[in-house]
Chains A and B, each alone.
Chain A
Amino acid sequence: MTVAKSPMKTQKADGTLRLNPNGDLVASTVEVLRDSMLKALESAKIAVVLDLASTKQIDSLGITLVLGLFKSCQKKELAFSIEGASTDLLRVFKLFNLTKFFPIAEAIRE
Chain B
Amino acid sequence: MSSFADESIISDFVAESREHLATIEPDLLRMEQEGAKVSSEVINRVFRAIHSIKGGAGFFAFEALKKLSHAMEGVLMQVRDGKLKVSAELMDVVFASLDRLKAMLDDIQASDTVPYAKELATLEAILSGQGLIIGETVKGREKGAQRDFDLDAESVRSALRRGMNIFRAIAFLHRDIRDKGMTPLAFLNHALSVGTCLDAFIDIEAIADLEHCLDQDLPVTLLFATVLEPDLVALGLKLPIEQIKVLELEALRKEVKAKAKGTTEIAVASAPVMEAAAIQPEVEPEIVADAEADPSAEGEAPSELPTSDKAARDMNKDSGNETLRVRVDLLTNLMNLAGELVLGRNQLVRAVTDYQHEIPGLGAILQNVNQVTTEMQEGIMQTRMQPIGTVFSRFPRIIRDMSRQLSKQIEVKIEGAEVELDKSIVEMLVDPLTHIIRNCADHAIETPAERAKARKDPSGTIHLHAFHEGGQINIAVHDDGRGIDAKKVLAKAIAKGLVTKAQGAEMTEREIVHLVFAPGFSMAEKVSEISGRGVGMDVVRTNVEKLGGHVEMETELGMGTTVRLRLPLTLAIIPSMIVGITEHRFAIPQVNVVEFVWVKASEVAQRIEQVQGALVLRLRDKLLPLVRLADVLGIQRVFTDPVTGENVPDRRESLADRRGELPEEPENAAERKGDRRADWRSDHNIIVLRVGKNHYGVIVDELFDIEEIVVKPLSGFIQGTKCFSGATILGDGRVIMILDAGGLASAANLHFTDLQAEELRRAEEEKRNLALKASRRRSVILFEAAKGERFTVPQDHVLRLERIVKSKIEFIGDREYIEYRGEGLPLVRLDQHLEVRPLKADLEELFLVIPKIPGQNSTARPPAGILISEILDALDVEVELKAVEFKGPGLLGSAVVQEHLTLFLDPVALLQAAGLMGGDTE
Residues in A lying within 8 Å of B, measured CB to CB: 27, 30-31, 34, 37-38, 41, 57-61, 63-65, 67-72, 74-75, 79-80, 87-88, 90-92, 94-109
Cβ of B184 < 8 Å from any Cβ of A?
A: yes
In contact, B210 and A95 (Cβ under 8 angstroms): no
Within 8 A of A (CB), among B75-108: 85, 87, 89
In contact, B134 and A104 (Cβ under 8 angstroms): yes
Given A63-B173, A64-B207, A103-B137, 4 further pairs, Cβ under 8 A: A67-B204, A67-B207, A96-B220, A106-B131
Given contacts A59-B184, A60-B174, contact A105 B210 (CB under 8 A): no
Q: A69's contact among B125, B204, B210, by CB below 8 Å, is which?
A: B210
Residues in A whose Cβ lies below 8 Å from that of B135? 98-104
Between B135, B174, B202, B220, the greatest number of chain A beta carbons within 10 A of the residue's beta carbon is seen for: B135
Given contacts A96-B200, A99-B136, contact A60 B209 (CB under 8 A): no
Give the 6 A-B CB pairs with smallest separation, nearest first. Answer: A68-B213, A99-B135, A60-B173, A60-B178, A72-B210, A68-B210
Cα distance, A96 to B386, chains bound together (Å)? 42
Cβ of B208 < 8 Å from any Cβ of A?
A: yes
Cα distance, A97 to B223, chains bound together (Å)? 12
Q: How far is the CB of B175 from chain A (nearest CB, A)?
A: 9
Q: How far is the CB of A36 from chain B (nearest CB, A)?
A: 11
In contact, B185 and A88 (Cβ under 8 angstroms): yes
In contact, B214 and A64 (Cβ under 8 angstroms): yes
In contact, B207 and A95 (Cβ under 8 angstroms): no
Residues in B whose Cβ lies below 8 Å from that of A92? 184-185, 188
21 A-B pairs with CB atoms under 8 Å apart are A34-B211, A38-B211, A60-B178, A61-B173, A61-B174, A61-B214, A64-B216, A71-B213, A75-B209, A80-B138, A90-B89, A92-B184, A95-B185, A95-B197, A95-B200, A99-B134, A100-B201, A101-B204, A103-B133, A105-B130, A106-B133
Given contacts A71-B208, A105-B133, contact A87 B138 (CB under 8 A): no
Cβ of B571 < 8 Å from any Cβ of A?
A: no
Q: How far is the CB of A80 from chain B (nearest CB, A)?
A: 8
Cα distance, A67 to B184, chains bound together (Å)? 14
Residues in A whose Cβ lies below 8 Å from that of B177? 60
Residues in B whose Cβ lies below 8 Å from that of A68? 207-214
Given contacts A30-B214, A34-B214, A88-B185, contact A102 B138 (CB under 8 A): yes
Q: A71's contact among B85, B133, B207, by CB below 8 Å, is which?
A: B207
Residues in A whose Cβ lies below 8 Å from that of B804? none
Within 8 A of A (CB), among B179-218: 183-185, 188, 197, 199-202, 204, 207-214, 216, 218
Residues in A whose Cβ lies below 8 Å from that of B89? 87, 90, 106
Cα distance, A77 to B502, chains bound together (Å)? 72
Q: How far is the CB of A101 from chain B (nearest CB, A)?
A: 5
Cα distance, A95 to B218, chains bound together (Å)? 15
Within 8 A of A (CB), among B118-172: 125, 130-138, 141, 150
Between A58, A70, A101, the greatest number of chain B beta carbons within 10 A of the residue's beta carbon is seen for: A101
Q: B132's contact among A31, A64, A69, A106, by CB below 8 Å, is which?
A: A106
In contact, A95 and B188 (Cβ under 8 angstroms): yes
Q: Name the CB-closest residue of A to B202.
A: A96
Residues in A whose Cβ lies below 8 Å from that of B210? 34, 37-38, 41, 65, 68-69, 71-72
Q: Name the CB-closest residue of B to A80.
A: B138
Q: Name the CB-closest residue of B to A106.
A: B132
Q: How far is the CB of B152 from chain A (nearest CB, A)?
A: 13
Residues in A whose Cβ lies below 8 Å from that of B132? 105-106
Residues in B whose Cβ lies below 8 Å from that of A67? 202, 204, 207, 213, 218
Q: How far is the CB of B676 from chain A (nearest CB, A)?
A: 81
Cα distance, A109 to B202, chains bound together (Å)? 28
Q: How far is the CB of A21 from chain B (nearest CB, A)?
A: 14
Cα distance, A90 to B173, chains bound together (Å)? 18
Q: A58's contact among B184, B202, B207, B212, by CB below 8 Å, is which?
A: B184
Cα distance, A21 to B634, chains bound together (Å)? 82
Cα distance, A68 to B202, chains bound together (Å)? 12
In contact, A97 and B200 (Cβ under 8 angstroms): yes
In contact, B134 and A71 (Cβ under 8 angstroms): no
Given contacts A90-B134, A101-B141, A104-B134, contact A64 B200 (CB under 8 A): no
In contact, B138 and A101 (Cβ under 8 angstroms): yes
Cα distance, A38 to B209, chains bound together (Å)? 10
Residues in A whose Cβ lies below 8 Å from that of B174? 60-61
Residues in A whose Cβ lies below 8 Å from that of B178? 27, 59-61
Residues in B whose Cβ lies below 8 Å from that of A87? 89
Residues in B whose Cβ lies below 8 Å from that of A96? 184, 188, 200-202, 220
Q: Name the CB-closest residue of B to A82.
A: B135
Q: How far is the CB of B417 from chain A (nearest CB, A)?
A: 33
In contact, B136 and A64 (Cβ under 8 angstroms): no
Cα distance, A98 to B133, chains bound together (Å)? 12
Given contacts A31-B214, A71-B209, A98-B202, contact A91 B173 (CB under 8 A): no
Cα distance, A98 to B130, chains bound together (Å)? 19
Cα distance, A80 to B89, chains bound together (Å)? 22
Given contacts A60-B174, A60-B177, A68-B213, contact A108 B220 (CB under 8 A): no
Q: Name the CB-closest residue of B to A89.
A: B185
Q: A63's contact among B136, B184, B211, by CB below 8 Å, is which?
A: B184
Between A79, A91, A108, the greatest number of chain B beta carbons within 10 A of the residue's beta carbon is seen for: A91
Cα distance, A103 to B197, chains bound together (Å)? 22
Between B141, B211, B220, the greatest number of chain A beta carbons within 10 A of the residue's beta carbon is seen for: B211
Q: How far is the CB of A15 from chain B (nearest CB, A)?
A: 17
Q: How far is the CB of B807 from chain A (nearest CB, A)?
A: 100
Between B131, B141, B209, B212, the greatest number of chain A beta carbons within 10 A of the residue's beta carbon is seen for: B209
Residues in B whose Cβ lies below 8 Å from that of A72? 209-211
In contact, A65 and B213 (Cβ under 8 angstroms): yes
Q: Name the CB-closest residue of A to B213.
A: A68
Q: Name the CB-closest residue of B to A91.
A: B185
In contact, B183 and A109 (Cβ under 8 angstroms): no
Residues in A whose Cβ lies below 8 Å from that of B173? 60-61, 63-64
Q: How far is the CB of A19 from chain B (nearest CB, A)?
A: 11
Residues in B whose Cβ lies below 8 Å from that of A101? 135, 138, 141, 204
Cα distance, A75 to B87, chains bound together (Å)? 37
Given contacts A91-B185, A100-B136, contact A63 B202 (CB under 8 A): yes
Cα distance, A72 to B211, chains bound together (Å)? 8
Q: B201's contact among A57, A97, A103, by CB below 8 Å, is which?
A: A97
Residues in B whose Cβ lies below 8 Å from that of A71? 204, 207-210, 213
Between B132, B134, B137, B204, the greatest number of chain A beta carbons within 10 A of the residue's beta carbon is seen for: B134
Q: Name the CB-closest residue of A to B136.
A: A100
Q: Name the CB-closest residue of B to A107.
A: B131
Given contacts A87-B89, A92-B185, contact A104 B200 (CB under 8 A): no
Q: How far is the CB of A55 from chain B (nearest CB, A)?
A: 13
In contact, A105 and B131 (Cβ under 8 angstroms): yes
